[in-house]
Structure 1
Amino acid sequence: MKPIIIGIFAALFFAFTFVLNASMDASGGSWIWSAALRYIFMVPFLLVIVMVRKNLKPLLEEMKRAPTAWLLWSFIGFGLFYMPLCYAAAYSPGWLIAGSWQITILSGSLIAPFFFVTIHTSKGPILRREKIPYRGLSFSLIILLGIIIMQLEAAQKISLEVFLLGFLPVLVASFSYPLGNRKMMELCDGRLDAYQRVLGMTLASLPFWFILSMYGLSTVGLPSLNQSFQSLIVAICSGVIATVLFFMATDLVRKDMKKLAAVEATQSLEVLFALAGEILILSIALPSSTSWIGIMIVMIGMVIHSQASMKKSSFIPENVMRN
Structure 2
Amino acid sequence: MSDSATADARTGRASGTRAAGGDGSGGAGGATVAIGLAVLGALFFSVSFIANRIMAVDGGAWEWSASLRFLYSLPIFLAIVAARRGVRPVLRALRANPGPWVLWSTVGFGLFYAPICLAADLAPGWTVAATWQVTIVCGVLLAPLLYDDDRGRIPVQGLVLSGLILAGVFLTQFGHGGLSWEMAGGIAVVLVAAIAYPVGNRRTMELAVAEPAGTAAEGGEPEGTGPAGAGLDTFQRLLAMSLASLPFWLLVALAGGLRAGPPSGGQLATTALVAVCSGVIATSLFFAATHRVRRHPLRLAAVEATQAAEVAFVALAEPVIASSAPPGAWAWTGILAICAGVVLYAFAGRGGGAPDASREASPDVSRERDPARR
Aligned residues: 310
Between the aligned partners of 1:104 and 1:32, the Cα distance in structure 2 is 22
The one-letter code sitting in structure 2 at the alignment partner of 1:52 is A
CA contact (8 A) 2:66 2:117 kept: yes
The one-letter code sitting in structure 2 at the alignment partner of 1:260 is L
- Aligned equivalent of 1:165: 185
The one-letter code sitting in structure 2 at the alignment partner of 1:144 is L
Between the aligned partners of 2:192 and 2:173, the Cα distance in structure 1 is 20
CA contact (8 A) 2:132 2:191 kept: yes
- Aligned equivalent of 1:135: 157
CA contact (8 A) 1:136 1:261 kept: yes
Classify the secondary structure of the residue corresponding to 1:304. Answer: helix
TM-score for both structures, normalised by structure 1:
0.90
Taking the TM superposition and a 5 Å limit, the aligned residue runs for 1:5-16 are: 5-16=36-47
Between the aligned partners of 1:316 and 1:71, the Cα distance in structure 2 is 34
Between the aligned partners of 2:64 and 2:245, the Cα distance in structure 1 is 15
- Aligned equivalent of 1:305: 345
Correspondence 1:179 to 2:199: yes
Classify the secondary structure of the residue corresponding to 1:47. Answer: helix
Between the aligned partners of 1:237 and 1:291, the Cα distance in structure 2 is 26
- Aligned equivalent of 1:235: 275
1:45-103 Cα distance to aligned partner (Å, 9 max, x none): 11111111111122222222111111010010001101111111112221221111010
- Aligned equivalent of 1:268: 308
Q: Choose the corresponding residue for 1:30, options 57, 61, 76.
A: 61
Between the aligned partners of 2:345 and 2:81, the Cα distance in structure 1 is 34
Cα shift at 1:134: 2.5
Classify the secondary structure of the residue corresponding to 2:245. Answer: helix
Instruction: Between 181-190 and 11-20, report the one with greater CA deviation.
Output: 181-190
CA contact (8 A) 2:151 2:296 kept: no
Between the aligned partners of 2:265 and 2:355, the Cα distance in structure 1 is 51
- Aligned equivalent of 1:76: 107
CA contact (8 A) 2:175 2:327 kept: no
Cα shift at 1:320: 9.1
Classify the secondary structure of the residue corresponding to 1:54. Answer: coil
Identity of aligned residues (%): 42
Between the aligned partners of 1:212 and 1:66, the Cα distance in structure 2 is 24
The one-letter code sitting in structure 2 at the alignment partner of 1:197 is R
Between the aligned partners of 1:114 and 1:294, the Cα distance in structure 2 is 30
CA contact (8 A) 1:258 1:314 kept: no
Coordinate RMSD, CA, aligned: 1.9
Instruction: Between 10-19 and 304-313, report the one with greater CA deviation.
Output: 304-313
- Aligned equivalent of 1:121: none
Between the aligned partners of 1:316 and 1:172, the Cα distance in structure 2 is 35
Taking the TM superposition and a 5 Å limit, the aligned residue runs for 1:22-171 are: 22-117=53-148, 130-156=152-178, 159=180, 161-171=181-191
Between the aligned partners of 1:175 and 1:316, the Cα distance in structure 2 is 30
CA contact (8 A) 2:176 2:327 kept: no
Cα shift at 1:116: 2.9
Cα shift at 1:314: 5.2
The one-letter code sitting in structure 1 at the alignment partner of 2:304 is E
Unaligned runs of 5+ in 2: 1-31, 210-229, 362-374
Gap change, CA 1:152 and 1:42, over 3 Å in 2? same
Instruction: Between 228-237 and 282-291, report the one with greater CA deviation.
Output: 282-291
Instruction: Between 85-94 and 30-39, report the one with greater CA deviation.
Output: 85-94
Unaligned runs of 5+ in 1: 119-127
